[in-house]
Amino acid sequence: MMGDIRVAIIEDHSLTRIGMRSSLNEQEGIEVVGDEAEMLNLDTKLYIFG
């Protein structure tokens, strides 16, 4: 059995980002590990907390 699919969402529109996170969190086997409006910000967060 495979582990969860880990997803990072990069989307500059906050409402779209919230909707994507919500929809993905409802799916079995998918883990949202972070979301951010800009790749640089998410990249830093994932490195620090990852």
What digits encode the pLDDT tens for the residues 8-37?
Answer: 888 889 999 999 999 999 999 999 988 888
pTM: 0.70
pLDDT at 41 over 70: no
Reported in sequence order, the residue ranges of 1-50 that DSSP labels E, i.e. its strands, are: 5-10, 30-36
* Range(s) of the domain holding residue 36: 5-49
How far from 32 is each of 15, 18, 29, 36, 37, CA to CA, in Å? Answer: 16, 11, 10, 11, 15
pLDDT > 90? residue 39: no
DSSP conformational letter for 13 = -
How many domains does the chain contain in total? Answer: 1
Average pLDDT over residues 40-48: 63
Contact 5, 31 (CB under 8 A): yes
